[in-house]
Amino acid sequence: MNTPRSQQGFTLIEVAVVMLVIVIVLGIVSVNLDPDRETPVRDEARRLVLLLQTAQQEAILQGKILALAIEHQGYYFLMLNEKNEFKPMTDDEVLHARPLPPGIVISTVDIEGLPENEKPRLILLPTGELPPFTVIFSQGDIRWQVEGTLTGEVSAQTVPPPGKT
């Protein structure tokens, strides 16, 4: 008579299922432990692009001259008033002052035609034009550049840190 054998060990399917579960868990843990370090800098650069496009539309629709004042830890929008003075747009729901998150700085501001000793201020004309410019957001060795052209086009892209190409 044949007696049933007692099962010893695991089947190949059981081992494969356990390995699959381990791989999935390790994948989830590694994604959570090493988030994309570039995301905050990229988000700030893209936010500035969208805000500049919004400000350009605002300048065109209102027929007013706007400006973007840029500082090391943030930026804010200004509007030229009847007295020919730029005043911060403090009441605007979208174009209000934007401090940068901790660790992110504006490391480079280059605005064509701006004297070196002047505070960086990007003028947005009601015609949609703006001077060519470059603004670089940095966090450690991560850098994102916002670039604008005379025709009013604004874009953001990653750039290598200085010394690396």
CATH assignment at residue 146: 3.55.40.10
User: CB pairs under 8 A, 24+ apart, for 148-157?
Assistant: 148/52, 148/122, 152/56, 152/128, 154/49, 154/52, 154/53, 154/56, 155/49, 156/42, 156/45, 156/46, 156/48, 156/49
Higher confidence at residue 23 or residue 111? Answer: 111
The order of strands in the sheet holding 105-111 is 105-111, 133-139, 142-148, 154-159
pLDDT for the residue 49: 93
Please give the mean pLDDT across all residues of the chain.
Answer: 83
Identify whether 116 is part of a domain. Answer: yes
Q: Domain tally for the chain?
A: 1
Identify whether 24 is part of a domain. Answer: no
Identify whether 34 is part of a domain. Answer: no
Identify whether 33 is part of a domain. Answer: no
pLDDT for the residue 13: 81
Identify whether 5 is part of a domain. Answer: no
Identify whether 9 is part of a domain. Answer: no
Q: Which amino acid is at 128?
A: G
Domain that holds residue 152: 39-159
pLDDT for the residue 165: 56
pLDDT for the residue 35: 53
Phi and psi of 163, rounded to 5°? 90, -10
Identify whether 69 is part of a domain. Answer: yes
Instruction: Answer yes or no: is pLDDT of 156 > 80.
Output: yes
pLDDT for the residue 99: 93
pLDDT for the residue 34: 46
Identify whether 95 is part of a domain. Answer: yes
Rounded to the nearest angstrom, the gap between the alpha carbon of residue 83 and the centroid of all alpha carbons in its chain is 34
Contact 86, 79 (CB under 8 A): yes
